[in-house]
């Protein structure tokens, strides 16, 4: 811009490139609005779309960053110095990040700006991934001066859209009902979602969309935003007096400040931005494809995830080796591939009041050691997984006896327990070292295949004992950097261990975690009906392979609801399938049904976990009674649709399920029947749902109106 700072020109559908777009850069003098200079009265920062705005020089909207210089001044003027353009995208050092390791799918633009007074440099980084229509943005501040400055605020991305005709679509909830879709029209002023829990949170997910009011899953313009970060975040839209919508995404400025000493840098997390004019199904698919290629650990990204059995809801804390082996043996005969031992195997943990931090095996439960159990599981040709909650500490633990100062807590204050436990100071190297050593020992001795990394409470009385008074606001970010460091060390030392992240279910279901742990426990609510909503909401921002989805017992532990085993399977198939019940207690008919479910899932696993996901009937937009979705494989030769109906009505209207994403010219049979249907027929005319279709198989039992699967297989003439 005229003042040497960066302005924003346009963001949206691709348009032709020109050397200037005067039509998009408005300079129109408004009286009573501060101007940059006497002789340039029409250059008024408040009326100009900014690229990465500061505060205090006439733009009164909330800024992307703010720095306090050593004299207390909070004015910055970052002016353009130079830019560099490189192929590919490098990983960030201390933060989870996107990457293009092969340098062939992205281009990175870095713009260097300088503040001449403070001598602070600002690198704005933009990576364009044209094949997925994704842009990654982040900022880095480097102090080249001689005085320490304080970063009060450092967001990852700002976009000033020229109008406000959008709906803000967020995914909100609570424990056991995560990521419910909420759609509201933008209005004048500030609207935001955020977290101050030092976790991305059950309450608000960092993923959100801005869609035109008429945009649906199938049509229309929509922007998607996310943040590759697991700590406190802010997603904010400010609609100003001229209906310009300023979008800010990044670390929550509340509970944040960073001392930027001479020669030090601060790197923000990366924001993910995507756009399409073809509706929200397209947006979810392009962002999902991006994560699988440029965020998730390549070792696991394309690997089919094992079908697991988890003992939590089967035994809770009450187990020993014999009891577990009965579950393992039964699981083996049904085709399950991995046994996951949940909470309670360490210290003397028979309830949730004790032993967190003591990551060595409980000799009462395992007199022969944990490796003995692991060997027996591996001898069955099954994988072995284990639950840890590394970031936590119980007062009743050896760890607390030895290192009471490792626990987070403000001095001279009553400390607030959460689930009877407290949190370790992950900002301290010695804590990360201890956890790495303790976990490594168990991983090595048990030849562990998988870790469920849980995190069951948020942090209170935040205080870092090793930090100075003026560094205390660095704690929330330093905490999460410590978590990332431990993850990083573990995945580097044990590259074949699959991690699943968990935070009382989906309390840390975010892209920061997904960088290390390719999948996450979607929700502690395993009720099939509730899960339809949770998985439907989650699907907007995250692909199926990121969602752990389990079949549990009925009546369901969280809701008391009784659903058929078939329905529970029909929902859990659309994620990483697992079982979380005492299978030794199932009748022989139920065991046979589970066996069939597993055989069926294995046959279509790649499609379920990695197929393109299409939302068909949205329970958040209809009366909630009907939910349907479908997965389609890459060459569109196979698809599976699911339609769930909660309540039946007598004498119903004719119901048709319309598929999406099929090849219009291909012919398909339904549920291995003989009648052929064109793809366009299935998409536009649809399937008549109340009619019995094709051959009846147990897993697709077409007599079960409430939960139906439709398997489409291409059949040429």
User: Residue 527 Cβ, how far from ligand GLA at the closest point, in Å?
Assistant: 14
Using the structure block, give the residue that is written with the tokens 């897993």: 699
Residue 311 touches ligand GLA, criterion: CB under 6 A: no
**Following DSSP, what letter does each residue of 304-372 receive, concatenated?**
PPPPEEE-HHHHTT---HHHHHHHHHHHHHHT--EEEE-S-SBTT-SSTTB-TT--SB-TTT-TT-HHH
Residue 505 touches ligand GLA, criterion: CB under 6 A: yes
Q: Which is nearer to ligand GLA, 456 or 519 (CB)?
A: 456
Neighbours of 329 (CB within 10 A): 16
Residues in the chain: 717
Residue of the chain from 504, 612, 628, 645 that contacts ligand GLA (CB under 6 A): 504
Residue 343 touches ligand GLA, criterion: CB under 6 A: yes
Which tokens is 536 given? 């439907």
Burial of 77 (0-12, 13-18, 19+ CB in 10 A): middle
CB contact burial 237-259 (16+ within 10 A = b; e otherwise): bbbbeeebbbbbbbbbbebbbbb
User: Residue 580 Cβ, how far from ligand GLA at the closest point, in Å?
Assistant: 8
By beta-carbon distance, which residue lies closest to ligand GLA? 343
* Residue 520 to residue 305: CA distance in whole angstroms: 12
Residue 312 touches ligand GLA, criterion: CB under 6 A: yes
Residue of the chain from 132, 456, 609, 628 that contacts ligand GLA (CB under 6 A): 456
Three-class secondary structure of residue 603 per DSSP? helix
Pairing, β 189-194 against β 177-185 = unpaired
Q: Which stretch binds ligand GLA (CB under 6 A): 85-93, 166-174, 502-510, 599-607?
A: 502-510
Residue of the chain from 95, 149, 222, 502 that contacts ligand GLA (CB under 6 A): 502
Which tokens is 324 given? 């577990």
Q: Which is nearer to ligand GLA, 353 or 658 (CB)?
A: 353
Residue 115 touches ligand GLA, criterion: CB under 6 A: no
Backbone angles phi, psi at 322, to 5 degrees: -60, -45
Q: Which stretch binds ligand GLA (CB under 6 A): 20-28, 79-87, 201-209, 499-507?
A: 499-507
Pairing, β 547-552 against β 519-521 = parallel
User: Residue 313 Cβ, how far from ligand GLA at the closest point, in Å?
Assistant: 8
Q: Which is nearer to ligand GLA, 240 or 342 (CB)?
A: 342
Contacts of residue 681, defined as CB under 8 A and 6 or more positions apart, other chains included, come to none
Q: Which is nearer to ligand GLA, 337 or 342 (CB)?
A: 342
User: Residue 331 Cβ, how far from ligand GLA at the closest point, in Å?
Assistant: 18
* Residue 344 to residue 361: CA distance in whole angstroms: 9
Report the run of H or E that residue 392 belongs to, with start and end: strand 392-393
Using the structure block, give the residue that is written with the tokens 């996951």: 340
* Residue 108 to residue 143: CA distance in whole angstroms: 23
Q: Which is nearer to ligand GLA, 100 or 454 (CB)?
A: 454
Nearest to 515 by CA among 546, 537, 544: 546
Residue 354 touches ligand GLA, criterion: CB under 6 A: no
Distance of CA 279 to the CA centre of its chain: 20
User: Residue 98 Cβ, how far from ligand GLA at the closest point, in Å?
Assistant: 28
Number of residues in contact with ligand GLA under rule CB under 6 A? 11
Q: Which is nearer to ligand GLA, 46 or 500 (CB)?
A: 500
Catalytic residue ranges: 454, 524
Residue 500 touches ligand GLA, criterion: CB under 6 A: no
* Residue 72 to residue 169: CA distance in whole angstroms: 39
Q: Which is nearer to ligand GLA, 168 or 499 (CB)?
A: 499
Residue 392 touches ligand GLA, criterion: CB under 6 A: no
Partner residues linked to 310 by β-bridges: 340
* Residue 89 to residue 103: CA distance in whole angstroms: 7
Residue 359 touches ligand GLA, criterion: CB under 6 A: no
User: Residue 83 Cβ, how far from ligand GLA at the closest point, in Å?
Assistant: 46
Residue of the chain from 51, 59, 100, 454 that contacts ligand GLA (CB under 6 A): 454
Answer for the pair 645, 704: CB distance below 8 angstroms, yes or no.
Answer: no
Q: Which stretch binds ligand GLA (CB under 6 A): 225-233, 266-274, 299-307, 500-508?
A: 500-508
Q: Which is nearer to ligand GLA, 503 or 532 (CB)?
A: 503
Q: Which stretch binds ligand GLA (CB under 6 A): 426-434, 480-488, 497-505, 558-566?
A: 497-505
Residue 524 touches ligand GLA, criterion: CB under 6 A: yes
User: Residue 598 Cβ, how far from ligand GLA at the closest point, in Å?
Assistant: 21
Residue of the chain from 225, 387, 601, 608 that contacts ligand GLA (CB under 6 A): 387
Residue 521 touches ligand GLA, criterion: CB under 6 A: yes
Three-class secondary structure of residue 410 per DSSP? coil
Q: Which is nearer to ligand GLA, 258 or 312 (CB)?
A: 312
Question: Binding residues for ligand GLA, per CB under 6 A?
Answer: 312, 342-343, 387, 454, 456, 502, 504-505, 521, 524
């Amino acid at each position: 811009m005229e003042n040497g700072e960066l302005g924003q020109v346009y963001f949206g559908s691709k348009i032709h490139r020109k050397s200037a777009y005067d039509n998009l850069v408005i300079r129109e003098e408004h009286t009573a609005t501060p101007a940059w200079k006497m002789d340039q009265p029409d250059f008024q920062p408040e009326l100009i779309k900014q690229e990465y705005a500061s505060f205090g020089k006439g733009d009164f909207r909330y800024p992307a960053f703010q720095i306090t210089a050593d004299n207390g001044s909070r004015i910055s003027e970052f002016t353009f110095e130079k830019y560099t353009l490189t192929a590919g995208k490098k990983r960030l050092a201390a933060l989870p990040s996107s990457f293009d390791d092969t340098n062939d799918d992205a281009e990175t633009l870095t713009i260097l700006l300088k503040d001449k007074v403070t001598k602070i440099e600002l690198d704005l980084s933009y990576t364009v991934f044209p094949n997925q229509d994704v842009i990654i943005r982040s900022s880095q501040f480097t102090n080249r001066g001689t005085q320490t400055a304080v970063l009060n605020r450092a967001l990852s991305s700002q976009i000033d859209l020229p109008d406000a005709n959008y709906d803000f679509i967020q995914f909100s909830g609570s424990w056991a009902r995560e990521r419910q879709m909420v759609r509201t029209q933008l209005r004048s002023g500030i609207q935001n979602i955020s977290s101050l829990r030092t976790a991305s949170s059950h309450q608000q997910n960092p993923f959100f969309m801005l869609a035109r009011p008429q945009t649906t899953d199938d049509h229309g313009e929509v922007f998607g935003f996310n943040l590759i970060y697991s700590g406190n975040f802010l997603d904010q839209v400010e609609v100003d007096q001229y209906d310009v919508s300023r979008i800010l995404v990044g670390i929550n400025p509340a509970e944040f400040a960073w001392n930027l000493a001479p020669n030090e840098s601060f790197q923000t997390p990366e924001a993910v931005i995507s756009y399409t004019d073809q509706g929200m199904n397209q947006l979810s698919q392009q962002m999902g494809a991006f994560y699988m290629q440029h965020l998730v650990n390549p070792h696991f990204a394309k690997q089919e995830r094992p079908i697991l059995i988890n003992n939590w809801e089967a035994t809770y804390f009450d187990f020993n080796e014999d009891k577990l082996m009965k579950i393992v043996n039964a699981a083996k005969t049904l085709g399950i591939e991995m046994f996951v031992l949940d909470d309670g195997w360490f210290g003397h943990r028979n309830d949730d009041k004790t032993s967190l931090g003591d990551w060595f095996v409980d000799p009462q439960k395992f007199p022969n050691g944990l490796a003995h159990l692991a060997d027996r599981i591996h001898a069955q040709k099954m994988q072995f997984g284990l639950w840890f909650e590394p970031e936590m500490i119980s007062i009743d633990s050896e760890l607390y006896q030895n290192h009471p100062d490792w626990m987070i807590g403000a001095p001279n204050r009553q400390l607030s327990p959460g689930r009877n436990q407290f949190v370790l100071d992950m900002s301290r190297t010695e804590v990360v070292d201890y956890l790495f050593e303790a976990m490594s020992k168990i991983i090595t001795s048990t030849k562990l295949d998988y870790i469920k990394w849980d995190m069951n409470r948020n942090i209170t009385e935040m205080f870092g004992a090793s930090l100075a008074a003026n560094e205390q606001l660095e704690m929330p970010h330093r905490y999460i950097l410590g978590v990332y460091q431990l993850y990083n060390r573990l995945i580097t030392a044990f590259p074949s261990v699959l991690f699943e992240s968990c935070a009382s279910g989906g309390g840390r279901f975010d892209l920061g975690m997904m960088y290390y742990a390719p999948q996450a426990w979607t929700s502690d609510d395993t009720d099939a009906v509730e899960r339809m909503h949770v998985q439907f909401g989650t699907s907007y921002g995250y692909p199926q392979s990121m969602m752990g989805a389990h079949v549990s017992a009925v009546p369901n532990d969280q809701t008391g609801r009784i659903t058929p085993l078939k329905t529970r399977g029909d929902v859990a198939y659309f994620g990483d399938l697992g079982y979380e019940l005492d299978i030794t207690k199932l009748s022989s008919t139920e065991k046979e049904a589970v066996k069939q479910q597993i055989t069926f899932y294995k046959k279509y696993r790649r499609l379920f976990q990695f197929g393109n996901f299409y939302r068909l009937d949205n329970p958040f937009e209809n009366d909630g009674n009907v939910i349907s979705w479908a997965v389609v494989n890459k060459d569109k030769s196979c698809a599976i649709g699911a339609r769930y109906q909660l309540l039946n009505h007598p004498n119903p209207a004719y119901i048709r399920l319309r598929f999406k994403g099929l090849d219009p010219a291909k012919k398909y049979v339904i549920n291995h029947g003989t009648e052929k249907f064109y793809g366009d027929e299935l998409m536009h005319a649809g399937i008549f749902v109340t009619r019995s279709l094709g051959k009846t198989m147990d897993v697709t039992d077409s007599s079960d109106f409430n939960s139906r699967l439709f398997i489409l297989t291409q059949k040429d003439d």
